[in-house]
Amino acid sequence: MQTVDLDPVDRRILEWMQKAPGINAGELGEKIGLSQSAVWRRMQSLRDQGVIVDQPVKIDRQKVGLNTMVFAHVKLTSHGRSNLAEFSEAVSEYPEVLDCYVLLGNVDFLLRIVTEDIKAYEQFFFEKLSQLPGIQEVNSSIVLSDIKHTNVLPI
Residue 97 forms beta bridges with which residues?
113
pLDDT at residue 11, as a whole number: 93
Digit-coded pLDDT (tens) for 108-118: 999 999 999 99
Question: Are 40 and 67 found together in one domain?
Answer: no
Range of the domain at 29: 8-48
Digit-coded pLDDT (tens) for 25-65: 999 999 999 999 999 999 999 999 999 988 777 778 998 89
Look at the chain and report how many structural domains it folds into.
2
Instruction: Burial-class residue 109 by CB neighbours within 10 Å (0-12, 13-18, 19+).
Output: buried
pLDDT band (50, 70, 90) for residue 80: low
For residues 70-97, average pLDDT:
90
Question: What's the predicted TM-score (pTM) here?
Answer: 0.79
Q: Please work out, in degrees rounded to the nearest 5, the angle formed at the alpha carbon of residue 29 by the alpha carbons of 24 and 35.
A: 115
Question: Are 71 and 121 found together in one domain?
Answer: yes
Residues in the chain: 155
The domain that contains 80 carries what CATH number?
Answer: 3.30.70.920
Question: Are 32 and 69 found together in one domain?
Answer: no
CA distances from 132 to 43, 62, 89 (A): 42, 28, 11
154 assigned to some structural domain: no
